[in-house]
Structure formats: C-alpha cells, structure tokens
C-alpha cells in the first residue's frame, strides 16, 4: 500500500505497515483490504479508506503518552493504529457486535492499551476525559459534538469529518486562548448516530 508522498509522518507510515488491515475487513473482501477505498463491515458501517485513515492520524500529531478517544470503533482498525502511536486509547461504539469483534481482533494482535466502551459516541467518555487527542470516525453533521470538544485537554487536537451529505476533515485545537478550527479536504463518512436519533 503506497501512502507516501501523500503522508509525511514516518510514525504513521510505520504503524500502518505493522498492522494487518486484512484482519479488520470481512473475509470475502480481504483481497481488497489494501485498496484505497472504503469497505463495508457489519451493522451497515464501513472501514475507511487507508489514505483517509492515515491523514487523520497525521493530523492528530500523536505523542506516545497521549490519552486518546476514538469515537466509532467500527472494525477496530483505527483504534489499533491509535494504540501504536499514542498512549492509552479509549474507543466507544454503539453497536455491541462491532465492539466485540474489534476487541477480539485487537487482543489477538497483542495490543493491550485499548479500552472498549459501548455507548453514544456523541457524548464521548467524560469519565475518562480529558484527552490529548480525539478521533471521530463518523460524520458529525454541521459541527463537531460539543461534548467531545469539552473533553479536550489544553493543547489537544480533535479530527472529525464535519458536514451532512458530504464532509470535510476538520481539525480543532484547544489552546490557552480558546479553540481554533481548520477545514481541510473533502471526505465521505457514515453519520455519527446519537441515541436521540433512535427515539425519533
């Protein structure tokens, strides 16, 4: 899988080279695991295309000691990479079956710094906050969820696809002076479902 020169961060490239992406896709699609396309997984979700995953990781500028929140576990691929690049990773998924399979795969790969939670990703994990980095692997709508932004530590970064039908990667930083926001390249993600959405 060729990600350079689009991706410059050598730590991101090394992490992607060390995690077998084929373990995170459906068996019938493993011959396409390294194609630069999103692939369907269970529960009508997707595993994002490799270049987008790499770009999000690069934007997070992870340090080995960073406490990281991963919103939308999905197959667990993003969480596995975050675990190699950061410190403790907390990943939240609303679909119990997806979380179960992801946890099994990550455990089988010998990764032991990922903590799994079932719940509403829109709300994040306030009991484990603050985080130095937050990765959101689903479209948030017109703005990043305020509860997630509130869980950023000083100096922290949040990367999310922001928008409705189509989105742009958006990078938010919390500084001593407040928040900064940068709108970057266009992407397309499945929506981040709130528990409120199920009610109506």
pLDDT digits (tens, 9 = 90+) for 142-161: 999 999 999 999 999 999 99
Question: Do the domain assignments include residue 36?
Answer: no
pLDDT in tens, 85-131: 999 999 999 999 999 999 999 999 999 999 999 999 999 999 999 99
Please check whether residue 46 lies inside any domain of the structure.
no
List all residues 6 or more positions away from 112 whose beta carbon is below 8 Å from its beta carbon. Answer: none
166 catalytic? Reply is no
CATH number of the domain enclosing 113: 3.40.50.150
Q: Is 194 contained in some domain?
A: yes
Instruction: Choose the catalytic residue: 18, 28, 48, 128.
Output: 48
Identify the pLDDT of residue 166: 87
> How many domains does the chain contain in total?
1
4 belongs to a structural domain: no
Residue 9 falls inside a structural domain: no
How large is the C-alpha radius of gyration of the chain? 15
Task: Tell me whether residue 138 is in a domain.
Answer: yes
Q: Is 76 exposed, middle or buried (0-12, 13-18, 19+ CB in 10 A)?
A: buried
Q: pLDDT by residue (tens digit) across 164-193?
A: 888 999 999 999 989 999 999 999 999 998
- Give the structural domain span for 161: 61-199
Q: Is residue 49 part of a domain?
A: no
Mean pLDDT, the chain, whole residue set = 94
Q: What is the pLDDT of residue 197?
A: 59
Q: Helix, strand, coil % (nearest 5) of the chain? A: 35, 30, 35
């Amino acid at each position: 899988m060729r990600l350079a020169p689009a991706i410059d961060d050598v730590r991101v490239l090394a992490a992607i080279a060390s995690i077998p992406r084929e373990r995170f896709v459906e068996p019938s699609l493993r011959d396409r695991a390294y194609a630069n396309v999103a692939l369907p997984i269970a529960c009508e979700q997707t595993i994002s295309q490799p270049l987008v995953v790499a770009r999000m990781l690069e934007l997070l500028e992870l340090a080995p000691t960073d406490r990281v929140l991963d919103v939308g576990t999905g197959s667990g691929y993003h969480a596995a990479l975050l675990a190699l690049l950061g410190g403790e990773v907390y990943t939240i998924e609303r679909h119990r079956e997806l979380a179960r399979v992801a946890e099994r795969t990550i455990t089988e790969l010998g990764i032991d710094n990922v903590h799994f939670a079932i719940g509403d990703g829109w709300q994040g994990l306030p009991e484990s906050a603050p985080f130095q980095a937050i990765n959101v692997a689903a479209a948030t709508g017109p703005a990043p969820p305020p509860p997630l932004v509130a869980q950023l530590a000083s100096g922290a970064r949040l990367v999310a696809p922001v928008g409705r039908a189509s989105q742009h990667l958006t990078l938010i930083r919390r500084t001593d002076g407040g928040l900064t926001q940068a709108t970057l390249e266009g992407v397309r993600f499945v929506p981040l479902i709130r528990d409120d959405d199920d009610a109506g």
